[in-house]
Amino acid sequence: MRNRKGIKQLIKAGCMSALCVLASVGACWGQSSGFRVGVLTAGLTYDPVFQGMTDGLERLGYRPEKNLSFTVEDSKGNLSDLAGRAKRLVDAKPDALFTVGTAHSLAAKQATSSVPLVFALVADPVRSGLIAGYQSSKNNLTGVATYAGSLSGKRLEMLKEMAPATKRVLVLVAPAEGPARDSLLEVEDAAKKLRMQIVLREVTSRADIEKVLADQPKGSVDAIFFFPSTLVGANIGTLITKAKENKIPLVVLNERMVTQGALFGYGSDFRVVGTQAARLMAKVLKGEKPSDIPTETPEKFLLAVNLTVAKAIGLKIPRAVLERVDRVVE
């Protein structure tokens, strides 16, 4: 196990740093004679990705208010006006675009076929129609794919290992988002093998999420399972509150959500994904065509566990699991 002490403080500091960036980037637009990058993102849950991007670009010599400026369109998980947000970014004539998530990347792609676009946290960019292939996108896009869907079955196996008595698992799916559909197949297959029952509920808005959780009586499910979804991810706090009230595990896919109150998360390191995307963005800003820059996959996956949450819900994490943990929140 690593980084057991001080993890909360470090993460909090990193998140606050990114929040400061997000609060100020809009004002930076037009103040720099250097490169201008438009950002379309889904909210604070995905803040570590943007933090990794800005940190990575700075290490490569691109510094805000010196030779680089950003403007940010933050949807806060609302998918209803992504086309309008993407159009505003394109109309501002940026040198490049950076997008976080499948829905946001698709909206930006539809808004322009000429402005270079670097994406991150896209589960399957080929199946979703963003690119033609990993070696060459055949268009103005490149980025970092995250394999979010294919890891969902593994997360369910981990849940069974940590909480063997789990039988019924609540999952919220946003049907308009491709990654959720892919993950559903993975989870359903894993659930059959593990003799679990998936309690599936479809959601299309924050109001839907709140209603589904309110209508789920205590004791009706043994755990909540987070699917890779921009909509649900932007409202993760609502799921955390429900899991805490019912004293059941919440399974997620990244460390940030674990520090917020989920039991455990397994997936790509969001900050590292942002750093990878920064390297690709630097190539774009130097003039390389996105179609000549291969799409990458995550360099690092990590398992994070919140021991405070485990104690609160009366769950003892097996030693075999703790020995594999990369991040422990206490």
pLDDT per residue as tens digits for the range 167-198:
999 999 988 776 556 568 778 888 999 999 99
What pLDDT sits at residue 234?
86
Residue in 91, 140, 146, 90 with CA at minimum distance from that of residue 117: 140
State the pLDDT confidence band at 1, using cuts at 50, 70 and 90: very low
Q: What radius of gyration, in Å, describes the C-alpha atoms of the chain?
A: 19
The domain 152-267+303-329 having CATH identifier 3.30.160.60: the answer here is no
Homologous superfamily of 7-147+268-301: Response regulator (3.40.50.2300)
Residue with tokens 């201008």: 36
What pLDDT sits at residue 181?
63
Strand partners, 70: 37
| Dist. CA 142–CA 97, nearest whole Å | 11
Encoded amino acid at 156, one letter = L
Give the dihedral sign, CA 216/217/221/224: positive
CA distances to 98, 112, 262, 290 from 294, rounded to whole Å, are 16, 20, 34, 8
CA distances to 2, 259, 271, 312 from 11, rounded to whole Å, are 14, 8, 11, 21
Rounded to an integer, the average pLDDT of 257-275 is 95
pLDDT per residue as tens digits for the range 226-236:
988 888 988 99
Share of the chain above pLDDT 90, in %: 68
What pLDDT sits at residue 304?
97
Label the pairing between strands 301-306 and 264-268. Answer: antiparallel
pLDDT per residue as tens digits for the range 132-181:
999 999 999 999 998 765 688 899 999 999 999 999 999 999 887 765 56
Share of the chain above pLDDT 70, in %: 87
Domain with CATH 3.40.50.2300 in the chain: 7-147+268-301, 152-267+303-329
Strand partners, 226: 172
CA distances to 259, 318, 321, 327 from 8, rounded to whole Å, are 7, 22, 20, 10
Query: Is pLDDT above 80 for 315?
Result: yes
Cβ neighbours of residue 13 under 8 Å, at least 6 residues apart? none
> Which region, left, alpha or beta, applies to residue 285 given φ > 0 means left and ψ of -120 to 50 means alpha?
alpha
What pLDDT sits at residue 182?
58
| Dist. CA 216–CA 8, nearest whole Å | 31
What pLDDT sits at residue 177?
74
pLDDT: which is higher, 69 or 45: 69
What pLDDT sits at residue 230?
82
